[in-house]
Structure 1
């Protein structure tokens, strides 16, 4: 059984009619009235860090859509690849919904006076890659790398991040929905890269690139957000950052191992340390989606 087939097999059959196990959903969330400036439990750092992540998504997810679509076109439409083609189509649908909702999210951030530089940094890098005729397979390797990064962050958010419990309810909903769907489709770009005969050396090179770029861009956009927010130099801001990353249940302790796992030659996104399905991130994501199914509409 292929990794993708395994993913589909463990998916809750009630959540998807797609053979790939992926479902395209439209989140029924009204952002027209916006949200508080410090929507994350009143914490300036947590609010502006997550806002920074949101700022990257519309451009980033469009590039992921393009990379998967371009490589799927090159993959023969044979029976052995049928499930992967279906997964690619569903991946594109999910990422398109994420791009849309974060576009609405980011529009409200502009009204709050924040300035989205990340979208321009990302656009410039993508345009440079196209100008140098970087191959679709390399763009897919970058996508697979970022998909692993987001899947690891999604695992932390769904499994360990209790700070989100204090956030505004609609923002809790938005971020956990996004995390659940990132968990669902975490293996698609990776499996497609392997099907395109992508090699280990380039997979790792592009992953190092993604780690460095993500760390740098997320840091400088967060600092920029805090500057415009007027909280950059307040001690409480950086105390919140220290607790989030390095506290007793901080992100660093939970994400470092999974991030390093990508360097293994035998790595696959659906491999997990938890053997019981209900303890795996995929199982947690499926339970959350089932418990909150009234908050979204299934598109396909």
Structure 2
């Protein structure tokens, strides 16, 4: 399966410095603070994704059969670096709203511990591939189901869907590199379990912390909405369960679920919200 397609590096044309509402997602505090928590993880997390892919790519032979993968890795780095910059600005606004980003420190400490213990580059790449799958699953939901961001502040709806588009486009890069370097199925699944456990724990802790600083943690309505968000008829748990578990299949590949048409549809309908920094322009 040839999946190393050229990617585009884009500049998102939004001005986060103008600020945005405290409860920007349809006035719903829990959903807003859940998405805010995810944003808080991105600057440190995506830098680690860049570092792990670069470190592993240095071991990929400079052969013709890997030429397209080498090129796509550079585009991956460009996209992730842009995400990192945008979410740094986003998080700065959250700080002005009184939220405290603990996730960045938890992530940095975990990365430092891995470096101290000399975790091999191929294992770090397996963790990156795992997180990339998780973000790709959430990206698909964000693009496929408009209700996920229904009623959101237009600027942040644009930001999250742009991010979802690019996560969709590059969802196989780390996986393909891991496979090209001979990464094993057993290691891939083991690190996936570790990554999902860590992500869910940290997302929960940061969301609760956000709600605390928001002054709404103990309001019953918050947790009723949380239950609907995760366990309602179209809750995130039901929508993500099968896609997340699919990663455990021995024959799994990200593009077995080919949803590129969702990305293309959003890009075509929202061309005024971004400019192309590098890569061929869409037809």
Secondary structure of 1:4 counterpart: coil
Match of 2:122 among 116, 137, 140: 137
Q: Distance in 2 between matches of 1:290 and 1:140?
A: 32
User: Is the Cα contact below 8 Å between 1:200 and 1:265 reproduced in 2?
Assistant: yes
Q: Distance in 1 between matches of 2:148 and 2:136?
A: 18
Q: Distance in 2 between matches of 1:238 and 1:120?
A: 26
TM-score using structure 1 length: 0.91
- The answer for the alignment partner of 1:251 in structure 2 is 236
Q: Please, what is the CA RMSD of the aligned residues?
A: 0.9
- The answer for the alignment partner of 1:74 in structure 2 is 59
Structure 2: gaps of 5 or more residues:
279-283
Q: Does 1:221 align with 2:206?
A: yes
The superposition leaves residues 16-40 of structure 1 with CA deviations (integer Å, 9 ceiling, x where unpaired) of xxxx2x1100101101111110000
Match of 2:136 among 145, 151, 167: 151
Q: Does 1:47 align with 2:32?
A: yes
For these two proteins, the number of residue pairs brought into alignment is 278
- The answer for the alignment partner of 1:281 in structure 2 is 259
Alignment of 1:90-105 (within 5 A): 90-105=75-90
- The answer for the alignment partner of 2:190 in structure 1 is 205
Secondary structure of 1:116 counterpart: coil
User: Is the Cα contact below 8 Å between 1:54 and 1:102 reproduced in 2?
Assistant: yes
Secondary structure of 2:3 counterpart: helix
- The answer for the alignment partner of 2:155 in structure 1 is 170
Q: Distance in 2 between matches of 1:57 and 1:193?
A: 21
Deviation at 1:281, TM superposition (A): 2.3
Q: Does 1:298 align with 2:276?
A: yes
Q: Which runs of 4+ in 1 moved over 3 A?
A: none
- The answer for the alignment partner of 1:237 in structure 2 is 222
Deviation at 1:161, TM superposition (A): 4.6
Q: Distance in 2 between matches of 1:243 and 1:194?
A: 38
Match of 1:193 among 178, 182, 186: 178
Q: Distance in 1 between matches of 2:73 and 2:276?
A: 17
Q: Distance in 1 between matches of 2:129 and 2:250?
A: 15
- The answer for the alignment partner of 1:89 in structure 2 is 74
Q: Distance in 2 between matches of 1:4 and 1:138?
A: 22
User: Is the Cα contact below 8 Å between 1:164 and 1:172 reproduced in 2?
Assistant: yes
Q: Does 1:267 align with 2:252?
A: yes
Secondary structure of 1:262 counterpart: helix
User: Is the Cα contact below 8 Å between 1:158 and 1:281 reproduced in 2?
Assistant: no
User: Is the Cα contact below 8 Å between 1:226 and 1:232 reproduced in 2?
Assistant: yes
Alignment of 1:112-131 (within 5 A): 112-131=97-116
Structure 1 stretch 247-256 or stretch 224-233: which is displaced more? 247-256
